[in-house]
């Protein structure tokens, strides 16, 4: 059965990314598809749908369409309490087990501000407390966002969103009109493509940040993603979701530690209290 092209793309994007376009935001998808056609010099969305269906679309065009469907909103130290609570969690939980390395995953890193904020947090912590080597994996499905991550370059406006003057002076240097993260900070972070709904990351982590991405998915998809992420936590590791996100209704049997008001979803299930 022939779907209208907007519904066709909404279905394709959901299958490929988990991102759901519903009645309330389908107009946004329509606008984005029209803009995409204009940039790619394709006459209209019908024509674009035909190119997908007869497989004459190029691989890089397909990736640009996925990029177009994503919302990359992010900022430095988004919801600042996360970063103080990460510091507390590392000191009180992770260091207790004397790890050879601390591994953190920013699992929907967008343009890199989250991973860089974690890197600055750990660098600042290392000046107060001896730390083992640490590394941050930053992954995203959006190729364009990943390219920006890798460049380490941010506009004045972007640095003004969440970065203190002190941190900007210390960790960034001016390159023309832009600010570049210093090489020490960038060397802590590995950036790579990963699609959370069919993840190809096979490592384990002490902290996984998966913030402000599950909100775009249906509940069943969130369950699948969260189950996979839990498999990738170290025994004493924790998953962090975004400020407005919760595991309630997704994975209820879970041990949650609250640190500075932030939920740390622990890998280990709660032990049941003995009834006398
Ligand atoms: C709103 S941003 C959040 C960025 C950052 N975590 C934060 O909270 O500031 C959401 C990011 O999730 C990414 N994303 C969406 N679906 C994804 C998927 N299936 N796999 C990996 N990343 C995905 C988007 O490309 C986008 O960069």
**pLDDT for residue 221:** 96
For the CA of 106, the closest atom of ligand 1 is: 6
Going by the DSSP 8-state scheme, the letter that residue 110 receives in this structure is T
- Cα torsion angle, 141, 75, 169, 101, sign: negative
Q: What domains can you pick out in the chain, each with its CATH number?
A: 5-69 (no CATH), 81-266 (3.40.50.150)
The alpha carbon of 155 and the centre of ligand 1 are apart by a number of angstroms equal to 20
Q: Each residue of 117-148: pLDDT tens digit?
A: 999 999 999 999 999 999 999 999 999 999 99
Pocket mutation for ligand 1, best pick of 108, 115, 211, 232 (most atoms within 8 Å of C-beta) = 108
Give Cβ neighbours of residue 110 (< 8 Å, ≥ 6 apart). Answer: 72, 73, 74, 140, 142, 145
The alpha carbon of 128 and the centre of ligand 1 are apart by a number of angstroms equal to 32
Helix ranges, 132-243 (H): 143-151, 156-160, 165-171, 183-187, 219-231
**pLDDT for residue 269:** 62
pTM of the full structure: 0.95
Nearest CA to ligand 1 atom 16: 17
Q: What is the largest CA-CA distance in the chain?
A: 74
Nearest CA to ligand 1 atom 6: 211
- Of 116, 154, 10, 113, the C-alpha closest to 68 is 10
The alpha carbon of 107 and the centre of ligand 1 are apart by a number of angstroms equal to 8
Cα-based torsion angle of the residue sequence 74, 207, 144, 117 in order, rounded to the nearest 10 degrees: 50
The alpha carbon of 29 and the centre of ligand 1 are apart by a number of angstroms equal to 17
Give Cβ neighbours of residue 148 (< 8 Å, ≥ 6 apart). Answer: 111, 112
- Retrieve residue 132's tokens: 């083992």
Residue ranges in the chain modelled with pLDDT below 70? 1-2, 268-276
The alpha carbon of 256 and the centre of ligand 1 are apart by a number of angstroms equal to 23
The alpha carbon of 110 and the centre of ligand 1 are apart by a number of angstroms equal to 5
Residues with CB under 6 A from ligand 1: 17-19, 70-74, 78, 108, 110, 114, 140-142, 145, 194-197, 211-213, 242
- State what percent of residues in the chain have pLDDT above 90: 91
The alpha carbon of 129 and the centre of ligand 1 are apart by a number of angstroms equal to 32
Pocket mutation for ligand 1, best pick of 18, 154, 199, 213 (most atoms within 8 Å of C-beta) = 213
**pLDDT for residue 2:** 63
Q: Starting from the edge strand earliest in sequence, which strands make up the sheet with 189-193, in order?
A: 189-193, 134-140, 102-106, 205-210, 233-241, 262-266, 255-259
For the CA of 217, the closest atom of ligand 1 is: 16
């Amino acid at each position: 059965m022939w779907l209208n092209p907007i519904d066709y793309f909404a279905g394709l994007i959901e299958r490929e990314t988990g991102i759901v376009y519903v009645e309330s935001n389908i107009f946004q998808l329509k606008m984005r598809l029209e803009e995409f056609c204009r940039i790619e010099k394709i006459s209209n969305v019908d024509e674009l749908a035909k190119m997908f269906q007869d497989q004459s679309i190029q691989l890089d065009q397909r990736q640009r369409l996925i990029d177009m469907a994503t919302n990359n909103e992010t900022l430095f130290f988004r919801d600042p309490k996360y970063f103080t609570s990460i510091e507390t969690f590392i000191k009180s939980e992770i260091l207790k087990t004397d790890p050879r390395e601390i591994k953190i995953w920013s699992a929907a890193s967008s343009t890199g501000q989250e991973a860089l904020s974690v890197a600055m947090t750990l660098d600042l912590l290392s000046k107060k407390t001896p730390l083992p080597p640490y590394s941050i994996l930053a992954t995203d499905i959006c190729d364009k966002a990943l390219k920006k991550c890798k460049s380490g370059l941010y506009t004045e406006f972007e640095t003004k969103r969440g970065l203190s003057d002190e941190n900007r002076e210390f960790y960034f240097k001016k390159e023309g009109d832009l600010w570049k993260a210093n090489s020490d900070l960038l060397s802590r972070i590995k950036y790579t493509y990963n699609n959370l709904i069919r993840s190809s990351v096979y490592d384990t982590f002490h902290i996984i940040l998966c913030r402000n991405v599950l909100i775009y998915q249906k509940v069943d998809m969130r369950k699948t993603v969260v189950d996979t992420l839990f498999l990738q936590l170290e025994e004493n590791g924790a998953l962090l979701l975004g400020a407005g996100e919760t595991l309630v209704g997704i994975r209820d049997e879970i041990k949650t530690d609250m640190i500075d008001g932030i939920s740390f979803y622990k890998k280990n299930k709660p032990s049941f209290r003995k009834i006398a």
